[in-house]
Amino acid sequence: MEKNLNYYSNLYKSDKGDDPKLGGNHYASWYEKFLYLRRGDIKNICEIGIQNGASLKTLYDYFPNALILGLDIKTKKQYENKRISTQLFDQSQRSELNNFVKSCIQNNLTFDLIIDDGSHDVSHQQSTFGKMFKLLNPQGIYIIEDMGTSYFKVGESLYGYTKTEDKLNNNSISFLLNRPFRSPWIEEEDLKLIEKEVKDISIFDKTNPLPYKFKCVNDYPLRSITSIIQKR
């Protein structure tokens, strides 16, 4: 019997699955709705944030024909194999982000699926999306995970980064839900491309049984919130 994305997420102890002992974000079951029919066609995947390698292993088993590139602020060579490669990458550094995108363009490297599971800082999420969206193939999918961290308080830890300023007014949920797209961390040229090429945006909150689009308010409680951005 064919295994689904949630099965592999739980198997490799990823918090994207529904196992409450692992965090139980329930992301995988929702992603399945968008990815199942394409699992054999997706050839190139990029994921920002490797941590313990659980997600890379999940992607490896679920997408049998995909080459997977994992980016992380720490060396993660132990997770490499014939279809998985890794690279040092700090999305908080604009120069690294620009150099990575430039290198991909020079080498004609594009992706069918990009997952940002990195620092979860709102400015990093948006600046990375602004630059890397152009690396997405037509009909590609870009995922920004754990957007509830937009509501962390100053001083709280964000996956290796400490939140030093309140960026709530420019949080990533509001950025995705409001048109035209506006962000202090994305250049105007990139915003125009995003506006032109985004086909659809869906946001998932595990506290609600179905994906839905909601209005973001300043006192919105911290939840497991993820998004899927589909390119035309």
pLDDT single digits (tens) 169-219: 788 988 998 899 999 999 999 999 999 999 999 988 876 544 444 444 444
Q: What's the domain range around 178?
A: 5-231
Give me the residues paired with residue 52 across strands: none
pLDDT single digits (tens) 99-116: 999 999 999 999 999 999
Domain total of the chain? 1
CATH for 170: 3.40.50.150
